[in-house]
Structure 1
């Protein structure tokens, strides 16, 4: 009336104000009419601060067109249309839901994820037909006890809320098949969980759990269990009895060992990266015949047992960023393996450039080394007329044609005599004893009548892991001679006077300088000097990387004048 009076009085803005006052409804009538036909109403992403009342009463109130003198066709007979069974209110700005939700008893799906809900109405418990409830990505601090009355509920999504505890009667939701509680503040799991015998997927990731209840094993239907990013130090042994388990996620916890899962015959994926696992036992692996994914990256594992080759269905193996120095070569026999991650390990038997060539090239290399891995130095296969030179313990072909004596990568503590005997009168110019565990240079290397000294040695490979010698000495002859210089330890000088200790240090320094002079003088004759694989403090790694000439130049610069 006021607007009409202003219009009659000549108010030029009256028409604009009248248009602004007539707001369009938040839920168009077209959607309501369609919902009466389909039983589904989607109001997602409409910026709703609250749900309009006519949405809750959609099954009760007659439509506006019914109050008009209109004739209805077969498609518009509202009194014959279905009740609402699916309501989607996601991605709005709802802070609460009305208790009038009880007016929609036929609902089977209610989706209110991505809102600002801090609580849920108790009337939810009256939706006895509800099968899926999604209230994820809200601000819920608790859930009402009435929710536990939903005996037909199969999917309950509560992730990304602020829940710190769950009702004790949670086990009443006996029809539940999917439960997502990830990204909350839970510190424990109620014992009633054991009653959820129909649960197939359980997500507990990103909470504050320190342990799992032992009766979790009662979930005989559980196929997927996700406990990623908690504070678990152990996993209950009862977990091993969960015969239906197919996927187990234990990443980002504080586990020191993998659980033994002898009854989990169907387990396909085991994720336990970013823990504190140091030992990978054979018992952890030998029963997992169905495993296709094993993820153990970012742990402290030092070795991989041979039993890993029993996992013939393995397709992905992630061992990156551990402390593994050696792999079983039989790993190459995993025919289904498509992805193998080893970066970040101090591997001694696999070159870095080989790791960069991809899984298939790496597996091919491992297969080629199986012979060396399974044959110990004391149990070499007999050499026959059909034995290839590369299969024999002593490669006589390399001695005669390449002038190379090779006995490398055997992990041997001694070099057998027959290796030296094989040289006989054949002069060799290269010796390769690398990647063994020799405590010292083999004594027979220094025999004056040995054929090793019949010709000038141009290359000497001696990447020995645990030598105690600290100096090189070269006699005036043309061959390379290495001997031991014992450096006094702290135990040796304990109890002597300071002047005597200083004298000991001067003797030690004099010996080192003498060795340095002799090294440089005689290494000048060498064409190639290979020192990688030794724990040198000097020269620095940067100098070693520059090659023989740079190393010799460094050594010459250290000779005292």
Structure 2
């Protein structure tokens, strides 16, 4: 309905609040005028204790300019301008919302996170067009039943409140795709949740759940299920039948056994850290053909099954802080970018090999396979070439493993002939550690910059620049689009460029631990390609440690929520 048709129903209070001491908090007229044109109003971070009446009545009151008999151009006629569809009043001091909320029936987005709300008005049911509601970081103890009337709601964020239960009828939110109930006080999840047939993402982390309803497996479209930091002792076996599931987080629970995953052929990440799991068998792994990340740190595993080597898509495997004494050599055939083994009583791999990092461990395991083949007269002879520097280069490693290794040479430069040996091979990993380099990368050196020529490494996937003296993120790395992992911890990096980093579409691991970052740009939250973002050990104040502990997805979401509108 146009404003012109509504005009005759003039509200007797229209314009009545224009003057006087009872007007309450004010909103600049320029903002209101822009909102009438764009349909969007952002009042975040204005220290508001209540929402001004002029905001609730923006659709019905005659603008102040019209009351003052000001002329309007053809593009400024107030009666032709749009109703408010997006209202952001986050990061204020609101303790309640007025029932006048019903005067904004065209709202599709309502963002009131980071306030002091203890309840929501029943009038919220009249926001028939609402698609996104963010009430996170408030003090809600209960939700009004009227919230279940929002038939068009697609995103509902309720994290960091004090909710102890979910109202009946929640399953009527049939369009809901993203539901975040993390960091509340929920002890149970209604079985009727299974009727949320459109749900793609469900976050139940940091609650008090002791079990999950078996019916949860009926969520056939669910891709992301986060149950971190609860009291779960078991997981319903039917979870293994969720065909669309891609990310499953079960960290910091009390799990002793795992379900099998016969139908989870889309599962890309399985996070099981800090539980009490004692056994990992072939039955738990054999169907995880798409798995990229498997996090098992902080459990009670004593062994790793040979079938782990069948997970050819696996990129990150964390086995740290378990009771593992040996590893199957077949793990060396995996294409891992990250392997964590610290905190295990390993007897078959020397500690100094583990300290050298993932590629050295894999190389060692592969060499053990080769030794076995040698004993069977089935080994491949290893060839080498001698460079003018008297260094020996393993051509077999270059050709077969795509690894350029020139580590532990105490060298001040890398011979040009070494690069000549790689001209006909696509190198994916470089190891120049434990040298005295000043111009070309790796860890335990004194580097502060990288040469522009590195941009020609168009197949480079992983680079480790840890323990150097970089003060800024090397500019040349932004231009290597194939990079999947950048490890630059323990330097002096003070800033990163989130806009350029967003263009690194293949980057999934970024380690910035122990640097000098005073702030994390909110726009880094747009780098959704990141699956692992490590920021511990920097002097910034936000995100808080509690956010960092929730993992990469939570950090990125936190940052996105703080991008200026």
Task: Provide the TM-score with structure 1 as the length reference.
Answer: 0.63
- Give distance in 1, aligned partners of 2:80 and 2:86: 18
Q: Is the 8 A contact 2:37 2:81 kept in 1?
A: yes
SS at match of 1:106: coil
> Is residue 2:151 matched to residue 1:128?
no
Q: 1:353 to 1:73 in 2, by over 3 A?
A: same
Q: Distance in 2 between matches of 1:99 and 1:22?
A: 19
Q: 1:23 to 1:179 in 2, by over 3 A?
A: closer
What's the CA shift string for 1:208-245, capped at 9, x where partnerless?
A: 00000000011101000000000111100111110000
Structure 1 counterpart of 2:322? 322
In structure 2, C-alpha distance between the alignment counterparts of 1:192 and 1:27, rounded to whole Å: 43
Task: Verify the 8 A CA contact 1:211 1:234 in the aligned structure 2.
Answer: yes
Q: 1:225 to 1:350 in 2, by over 3 A?
A: same
| 1:497-547 Cα deviation digits (max 9, x unpaired) | xxxxxxxxxxxxxxxxxxxxxxxxxxxxxxxxxxxxxxxxxxxxxxxxxxx
Matches within 5 A, 1:50-199: 50-199=50-199
The match for 2:546 is: none
Q: Distance between the aligned counterparts of 1:236 and 1:373, measured in 2?
A: 42
The one-character-per-residue Cα deviations of 1:44-67 (angstroms, maximum 9, x if unpaired) are 011110011111010001012212
- Supply the distance in 1 between the matched residues of 2:276 and 2:380 (Cα, whole angstroms): 46
By how many angstroms is 1:26 displaced?
2.2
Aligned to 1:274: 274
Alignment check: 8 A CA contact 1:167 1:190 kept: no
SS in 1 for 2:75: helix
Secondary structure at the aligned position of 1:176 is classed as: coil
After superposition, give the CA deviation of every residue in 1:347-370 in whole Å (9 maximum; x if it has no partner): 111000000111111101100001
* Secondary structure of 1:202's aligned partner: strand
The whole-number CA distance in structure 2 between the counterparts of 1:372 and 1:344 is 27
2:340 equivalent to 1:338: no
**1:33 aligned partner:** 33
Residues 1:193 and 1:309: Cα distance change in structure 2 (over 3 Å)? same
Is residue 243–residue 263 contact of structure 2 (8 Å, CA) maintained in 1? yes
Seen in structure 2, the aligned counterparts of structure 1 residues 145 and 374 have a Cα distance that, compared at 3 Å, is: farther
User: What is the rounded CA distance, in whole Å, between the counterparts of 2:180 and 2:44 in structure 1?
Assistant: 21
Distance 1:150 1:177 in 2: 13
Q: CA deviation at 1:183?
A: 0.3
**Aligned-pair CA distance for 1:373:** 6.2
**Counterparts of 1:134 and 1:264 in 2: how far apart (Å)?**
31
- Check 1:333–1:253 CA distance in 2 against 1; reply closer, same or farther (3 A cut): same
- Cα distance, 1:257 vs structure 2: 1.9
Structure 1 pair 23–223 and aligned structure 2 pair: CA distance change class (3 A): closer
- For the residue of structure 2 that corresponds to 1:168, the secondary structure is coil
The root-mean-square deviation of aligned C-alpha atoms, in Å, is: 2.1
1:289: Cα distance to partner?
A: 0.4
**CA distance in structure 2 between the partners assigned to 1:61 and 1:33 by the alignment:** 12
How far did 1:71 drift? 2.1
Map of 2:225 onto structure 1: 225
Q: 1:151 to 1:24 in 2, by over 3 A?
A: closer
Post-superposition Cα deviations, 1:429-461, rounded to whole Å, max 9, x if no partner, equal: xxxxxxxxxxxxxxxxxxxxxxxxxxxxxxxxx
| Within-5 A mapping of 1:407-486 | none
- The verdict on how the C-alpha distance between 1:355 and 1:287 changes in structure 2, with shifts beyond 3 A counting, is same
- Greater per-residue helix proportion: 1
Q: Distance in 1 between matches of 2:264 and 2:29?
A: 55
Answer yes or no: is 1:359 the counterpart of 2:345. no
Contact 2:224–2:246 (Cα < 8 Å) also in 1: yes
Unaligned residue ranges in structure 1 (runs of 5+): 1-19, 390-561
If you compute each CA radius of gyration, which structure gives the higher value, 1 or 2?
1
Deviations 1:385-437 (A, max 9, x none): x9989xxxxxxxxxxxxxxxxxxxxxxxxxxxxxxxxxxxxxxxxxxxxxxxx
Given the superposition, is the C-alpha separation of residues 25 and 157 from structure 1 closer, same or farther in structure 2, using an over 3 Å criterion? Answer: closer
Contact 1:328 1:373 in 2 (8 A): no
CA distance in 2 between partners of 1:100 and 1:30 (Å): 22
In 2, distance between residues paired with 1:211 and 1:22?
Answer: 52
* Pairing of 1:298-317 with structure 2 (within 5 A): 298-317=298-317
TM-score by length of 2: 0.62
Other structure's SS at 1:369 match: helix
Counterpart position of 2:541 = none
Greater Cα shift, 24-33 or 256-265: 24-33
**Measured at CA, do residues 333 and 154 of structure 1 come closer, stay the same or move farther in structure 2, by a change above 3 Å?**
same
Alpha-carbon separation, structure 2, partners of 1:44 and 1:206? 27
Query: How is 1:490-505 mapped onto 2 (pairs within 5 angstroms)?
Result: none
Q: Which residue does 1:473 correspond to in 2?
A: none
When residues 297 and 150 of structure 1 are mapped into structure 2, their CA distance, relative to the original with a 3 A threshold, is: same
1:381-420 alignment runs, 5 A limit: 381=376
Q: Is the 8 A contact 2:317 2:340 kept in 1?
A: yes
Contact 2:338 2:358 in 1 (8 A): yes
